[in-house]
Amino acid sequence: MAGGGRSTRWVAVRIGAVAVAAVAGFAVVGARAVQLQVVQSEKLGAMARDQYVRELDWKPRRGAITDRNGAVLAQDVEADSVFVDPEELPERRGPALARLAKVLSVEGKALERKVARGGRFAWVKRRISPDESAAVRALRIPGVGFAKESRRYYPRRELAAQLVGFVGDDGDGLEGVERLFDDALSGEASRVPSLRDARGVMLLKDAPERAIEGARVELTIDQGLQLAAERALSRAVTQARAAAGMLVALDPSTGEVLALANAPTFNPNTPRRGEVLRNRAVLDSFEPGSTFKVFTLVGALDAGVLRAGDSFYCEKGSWRVGQNVLHDSHPIGWAGPAKIIAESSNICAAKVGQRLGRERLQRTLMAFGFGEKVGTDLPAEPRGAVPFPRAEVALATMSFGHGVTATPLQITAGVAAIANGGTLLRPQLVRRVVDPARGPLLQAAPVAVRRAASPSAAAQMARWMEGVVTEGTGKRARLDGWRAAGKTGTAQKVDPLSGGYSADKRFSSFVGFAPAEEPRIVIGVFIDEPRGEVMGGEVAAPVFKEVAEHALRSMSVRPSGGDPAPREPEPVAAADETPLPSVEQALRTARPDRGGVAVPVLEGLPARAALQVLERVELLGETAGTGLVSRQAPAPGTVVEPGTRVRLTLQPRG
Amino acid sequence: MARASPADPRPRSFDAWLAAAVLLLTAGGLVMVYSASAVKAGTELHDQFYFLKRQLVAAGLGLGLLLLGMRLGARGAEKLAYLLLGVTVLTLVLVLVPGIGRVAGGARRWINLGLFSFQPAELAKVALVLYLARSLARKQEKMKLFSIGLLPHLLVTLLLVGLCLLQRDFGTGVVLALVLFAMLFAAGAKVSYLLGAVLLAIPVAWRVIAGTPYRMQRIQAFLDPFQHKEGAGWQMVESLLGIGNGGWLGQGLGQGKGKLFYLPAAHTDFIAAVVAEEVGLVGIALLLLLYAIVAWRGFRAALRATDPFACYAALGLTVLITAQALINLSVVFVLLPTKGLTLPFVSYGGSSLITLLGAAGLLLALSGDRGGFLARSTPSRGGASAAGLRPSAEGAR
C-alpha cells in the first residue's frame, strides 16, 4: 500500500512535469508569435505587400472632342486586338495562320515570322473592326485571343480633320487639337493598387478615385456650318482645279471660329501622311493681295489723311513707281475711296499708302494683328511678315497686300475687326475644356487684343465694302435676303524658282461679312493656285455666298430690310400673327453640360422645327398629334444623355 | 485497489471549461476553414462552400461522437481499447493496399468510404492512448521492469509509427512517439530507459529523414526558408509573410491574401497562418488560450482521476491534443520543419475533426469524474502537488 502511495505520488509529480513541458511549449510558440507579428511585422508585412499588391496604371479613357453644340467629333471606342499564343496553335499551324492573315488582311509571311520568333505572345493585328473581329472568332483557331483596347474614332470622318487632328498608335495626340490638348484629353493616369493572386490574376479591389475619362474638349466650330463650309470649299477647289482651299468663319462679336475648313482633306480614321494633314488655314502664310487695301484705307481714315469725299487719279491702269510699273486689272480714272475698294485699284491704294506713310502703314497692319501670332497655341503657328517698307515700291505694293504675308485666320480676324466696329478679337478654336471630375479646366471668353480702328472708320469701311458686293469686284458674293460686305483679293504668288512673281500662280480670296448692317458672321475664303478663272471675285466669292447664307439661315438671322425674302421662308410661321420662337432661340436653351444636353424649350414650335432642334442637339424626338408643340417630356432644362428620346405633344394652332 | 468500483458514490460533474474551449475551437475552425478555402473552392470546384459544407458535416458527426464518448466514460473506453487498436492496425494496413487506399498530395493515407474518405492515422492516435492507458494501469507495479513496463508499449507504438511512416505520415509518427513518452514517463518508467530509447531513436529518425529526399529538402528549407523560396521553402515563406502581415489585429476576417493561392494547404495544415494574417496576434493569443484551457482541464482531469486508467487516458488525450496543436503551430511559425499535421479542431479534415471530437468527449467524461486514485492514496501530499500544479497549467494561457 505504501509503495502504491509512493508510486501514485510520483505519478502526480510526473504529470506535473509533463504539464510544465506543455507550459514551456505554449511559451515558446507564444513568444514566436509576438516576434513574428510585432517585432518583424513591418518587415514581413512589407514583403507580403510587395507580393500581393501591384500598382496598376489606370489610364483614363481619352476625352471626346465635340463641336460647340456637343456633337462628337472624336471619341474613344473599344476595339478588339488579336494576338496568338504560338504554343496553343494547332499542330499544323501553316493553314490556320494563312486563314487568319487573310481574314485580317495582314501579310501571311510576316505573321509566320512573328509566330516563329517563339515566346507565348504575338500581336496579329491591333484595334480591328467589329466585322474583322467576328470573322476571326468564326475561324475558331485555338491559341488566337482577343484583348480589348481603345481606339480613337472620328464619327464625322473628314469633318474638321485638320483642326481636330488625330492620335498615334499608342493613343498620343499627334496633330491638331488632339495634340494641343493631349494632356487634358488623356487625363491623369492614376496608380491603382490592386491585388495579384499567386496565379498572376489581378483583382481590382477599389475603383479608381479619379476620373475614368479625360477632359472633353468643346470646339467653337459648329459642325453643321463646318460641313457646309467644307462642301462649298471642296467644290470650289475642284472646279477651279486649285492646289488647295481654306475657309475661316468667325463670329465677329466673340472671335469664335465657327468653321475652319481645308481642302483637300482626309479621313482621320485611316491616318495618312503629307501636306493634306496640315491645317493650312492657321499654319500657312501667304501674300494676301487686295484684301489688305481695306486695312490701308482704314489706317488712312484714322490717320486723318483720307476722307470719304477725297478723290484719286488711278492712272488708267498703269503707273510707274521708281523703276517699277503698277497695274490695275480694272483700269479706271478718277475715283473716291469707295470706288477704289469696289474696283480694287492697286494704283490708288498705293497712292493712299503714300499719304499714310511707311511707319503708319506698318503700324496699322500690326494693329490688325499681322506680324504677330494669333494665339491659337497650335504648334508652329506663324507670325506672318510685316516688314518696314523701306523702298518706294515696297510702300506702294504693301498698300495693296504684297510684300507682306498673313495666314487666312489672321486675314479673316482682321476683317472681323472691321465688322465689329474696330476691335481686334483673338480668334478662338476651343470653347471649353471640361474634366468630368474636376469641372471646367478652360472656359473661353472673348479676348479683345486691341482697338485696331476707330468705330467711325470701321463703319465707313464696312459701307465701302458693301459696295464691293453690290457693284464692285465681289458681286458674286451677293446674298439672297441679306446685305453683305467684303473684299476680293487676287495675289500673284512668288515663284520659288525665279524668286520673282509667277506669271500664272495666284492666291485668290474673298473676305466678307453679313448682314452688313449688323454682322453676325465673317467668312474668309482662300483658293490657292486656281487655274483658268483666277479672280477672287469669281472663285472665292461664290463660296462665301453659299456658306454665309447657310450660316444666316441656321442662325435665323432676320433678312435685311428692302431685300428679297430668304429663299426658304419659315414654313408655318409666316401666316401666324404672334411671332413664334425661333429654332435658334430654342437651341440656345439647350446648353450642353458635362456631356449631357439640357432639353431645349420647344413649346410653341412647329413639329418640324422642334425635331430639327432636337436633331441639332443630338436628341431624338417623338411626336403625337399635329400642330405646335404644347407639351414636352422631359421638361425643358432637364440634363439628359445625348440620344435621349423627347416626347412632344402637339396641338393645332389657335 | 486501483480499480474504483463502478458504483462510485461521488457525483459526476460537467466540465464546462473544457466543453466551451473545444466547441469554440471547432466553431472558429469552421469560420476559418470557410475564409481560407472559399477562393480556392470557388475557383477550382466552382462552389465556394465546398470545404465548409464537408467540414460542417464532419463537425456534426464529431459532435455526435463527442456525446457518445461522454456516455461511454472511462469504463466503456477501457473495454474498447484493444478493439480500437485492432481496428486501427487493420485499417492502417488496408490503406497500403492499392485499390483501397486513396492517394492525395503524394501520400496514401485515406480509405474511401464513398461519401467520405477515412484517414486511419487519425484513429491511431486515440487508439494508442487508450491501449497505453489500459496497459499501464494494469502494470503499475511492474513499470520499472524493462520487459514488462517498456518493451510491449514500445513495440506497439513502433508498429503504429512504422505504419504511419509507410503512409509518409511523419507528423502522426512524431505525435504518437510523444504520447508514448509522456504516458510512460507519467506511469513511472525509468527515465534512463526513456533517455536510452530517445538516443536509439535519433539515428533511426535521421535515417528516415535523410532517406527520403522530400523530408531532407524540408529540413534544408526549414533552416533557411527564404533561400529556398522558389522550392521547398515556399510554403514556409508564405506562412511567415502572412503571419507578419497580420500584425496585432490582423487584416480583418476574410481579408487575408495568403489564401489567394500563395499559401499551400491554407485551409488544412497552415490554417493558423490564415488566422494570424486575418485576426492577428489577438487571434493567435485566443487560439493559444483555448488550447491552454484544454490542457489545463486535461491535466486537472488526470490529477483528479478516479483510477489509473482514467488518469493515464486523460493525460494521453491531453498530451495528444496539446502536442499536436503546439507542433502544428511551431511548423506554421517555422520553429519546426514541415510535418503534415492538422491544427486540432480547427483545420479542415473530417477524420481528424471527428476523432478529435470523439476524444474530447472522452476527456469530458474523464474530467467529469471527481477525485480518486491519486488523491485517495496520498491525501495530503498528493492534494498539495495537484494544487501546486494547477496554477502552472493555468499559467500556460
For A513-569, write each residue's pLDDT tens digit: 999 999 999 999 999 999 988 888 899 999 999 999 999 999 988 888 654 444 443
Residue A55, H or E segment: strand A53-58
Q: Work out whether strand A334-335 and strand A216-219 pair parallel, antiparallel, or are unpaired.
A: unpaired
The reply to whether residue B281 touches residue A40, judged by beta carbons under 8 angstroms, is no
User: What residues in A contact B307, CB-CB < 8 Å?
Assistant: none
* CATH code of the domain containing A186: 3.90.1310.10
Residues A256 and A189 in one domain: no
- Chain B residues 279-308 within an 8 A CB cutoff of chain A: 280-281, 284-285, 288, 291-292, 295, 299, 302-303, 308
The reply to whether residue A5 touches residue B330, judged by beta carbons under 8 angstroms, is no
Q: Would residue A274 count as lying in a domain?
A: no
Residues A447 and A526 in one domain: yes
Residues A214 and A255 in one domain: no
Say which range, A18-27, A243-252, A557-566, B25-34, has the weakest mean pLDDT.
Answer: A557-566
User: What residues in B contact A43, CB-CB < 8 Å?
Assistant: 244
Average pLDDT of the residues of chain A: 85
Q: Would residue A213 count as lying in a domain?
A: yes
The reply to whether residue B188 touches residue A7, judged by beta carbons under 8 angstroms, is yes
A448-470 pLDDT per residue, tens: 999 999 999 999 999 999 999 99
B47 and A CB contact within 8 Å: no
Whole-angstrom distance, CA of residue B50 vs CA of residue A378? 63
- Chain B residues 165-194 within an 8 A CB cutoff of chain A: 182, 185-188
In the prediction, which pLDDT does A600 show?
79
* Residues shown for chain A: 654
Residues A382 and A321 in one domain: yes
Residues A170 and A246 in one domain: no
Once rounded to an integer, what is the mean pLDDT over residues A196-215? Answer: 66
- Residues in chain B predicted with pLDDT less than 50, given as ranges, are 1-9, 377-397
* Residues shown for chain B: 397
* CATH code of the domain containing A304: 3.40.710.10
Q: Would residue A286 count as lying in a domain?
A: yes
Q: If you count DSSP H runs as helices and E runs as strands, how many of each does chain A have, helices first?
A: 21, 27
User: What residues in A contact B382, CB-CB < 8 Å?
Assistant: 8-9, 12
Q: Which residue has the higher pLDDT, B114 or A357?
A: A357
Q: Are A36 and B240 in contact (CB under 8 A)?
A: yes
Exposure string for A194-215, b = 16+ CB within 10 A, e = fewer: bebbbeeeeeeeeeeebbebbb
- In sequence order, the 6+-apart residues with CB closer than 8 A to the CB of A549 are A479, A480, A481, A482, A566, A567
Least CA distance to A43: which residue of chain B? B244
The neighbouring-strand residues paired with A249 are A259, A523
* CB-closest option in A12, A20, A37 to B243: A37
- pLDDT at A249 > cutoff 80: yes
Phi, psi of A298 (to 5 degrees): -65, -40
Residues A382 and A487 in one domain: yes
In the prediction, which pLDDT does A567 show?
43
In the prediction, which pLDDT does A404 show?
93
The reply to whether residue A22 touches residue B386, judged by beta carbons under 8 angstroms, is no
The reply to whether residue A10 touches residue B260, judged by beta carbons under 8 angstroms, is no
* Residue B67 C-alpha, separation from nearest chain A C-alpha, in angstroms: 27
* CB-closest option in B143, B241, B386 to A12: B386
* Residue B38 C-alpha, separation from nearest chain A C-alpha, in angstroms: 14
Q: Would residue A185 count as lying in a domain?
A: yes
The reply to whether residue B246 touches residue A41, judged by beta carbons under 8 angstroms, is yes
Residues A168 and A240 in one domain: no
* Residue A648 C-alpha, separation from nearest chain B C-alpha, in angstroms: 52
The reply to whether residue B257 touches residue A48, judged by beta carbons under 8 angstroms, is yes
Once rounded to an integer, what is the mean pLDDT over residues A310-324? Answer: 89
Active site residue A41: no
In the prediction, which pLDDT does B11 show?
54
The reply to whether residue B335 touches residue A20, judged by beta carbons under 8 angstroms, is no
- In terms of residue numbers, what domain contains A415? 224-265+281-554
Q: Are B363 and B298 in contact (CB under 8 A)?
A: yes
In the prediction, which pLDDT does A562 show?
52
- In sequence order, the 6+-apart residues with CB closer than 8 A to the CB of B6 are B75
Q: Is the ipTM of this complex over 0.90?
A: no
In the prediction, which pLDDT does B394 show?
38
In the prediction, which pLDDT does B5 show?
45
* CB-closest option in B39, B258, B302 to A15: B302
Q: Give CA A541 to chain center in angstroms.
A: 25
Once rounded to an integer, what is the mean pLDDT over residues A59-65? Answer: 86
In the prediction, which pLDDT does B24 show?
96
Once rounded to an integer, what is the mean pLDDT over residues A377-402? Answer: 90
* CB-closest option in B241, B276, B389 to A47: B241
Average pLDDT of the residues of chain B: 83
Q: Work out whether strand A65-66 and strand A216-219 pair parallel, antiparallel, or are unpaired.
A: parallel
* CATH code of the domain containing A617: 3.30.10.20
Residues A527 and A646 in one domain: no
| Interface probe, candidates A7, A15, A23, chain B, greatest B C-beta count within 10 A | A15
- In sequence order, the 6+-apart residues with CB closer than 8 A to the CB of B140 are A4, A7, B2, B187, B188, B308
A575-630 pLDDT per residue, tens: 333 444 566 666 666 555 555 677 777 877 777 778 777 877 777 777 777 777 88
pTM above 0.80, yes or no: no
Residues A601 and A460 in one domain: no
Most confident of A70-79, A252-261, A594-603: A252-261
Least CA distance to A197: which residue of chain B? B260
The reply to whether residue A37 touches residue B276, judged by beta carbons under 8 angstroms, is yes
* CB-closest option in A10, A18, A48 to B188: A10
* CB-closest option in A37, A197, A198 to B246: A37
Q: Would residue A13 count as lying in a domain?
A: no
Whole-angstrom distance, CA of residue B280 vs CA of residue B298? 27
Exposure string for A456-467, b = 16+ CB within 10 A, e = fewer: ebbebbbebbbb
Residues A449 and A468 in one domain: yes
* Residue A9 C-alpha, separation from nearest chain B C-alpha, in angstroms: 6
Three-state DSSP state, B203: helix
Whole-angstrom distance, CA of residue A642 vs CA of residue A639? 9
Active-site residue among A186, A234, A285, A290?
Answer: A290
* Residue B156 C-alpha, separation from nearest chain A C-alpha, in angstroms: 22
The reply to whether residue A26 touches residue B326, judged by beta carbons under 8 angstroms, is yes
In the prediction, which pLDDT does A438 show?
79
* Residue A377 C-alpha, separation from nearest chain B C-alpha, in angstroms: 51
DSSP string covering A478-514, please? --SSS--EEEEEEEEEEPTTTSSEEEEEEEEEEEEEE
In the prediction, which pLDDT does B22 show?
95
Once rounded to an integer, what is the mean pLDDT over residues A337-352? Answer: 92
The neighbouring-strand residues paired with B4 are none
Most confident of A40-49, A265-274, A407-416, A503-512: A407-416
User: How many structural domains comprise chain A?
Assistant: 4
Q: Would residue A376 count as lying in a domain?
A: yes
Whole-angstrom distance, CA of residue B386 vs CA of residue B303? 6
Residues A98 and A202 in one domain: yes
A94-127 pLDDT per residue, tens: 888 888 888 888 888 888 888 887 777 788 888 8
Residues A101 and A171 in one domain: yes
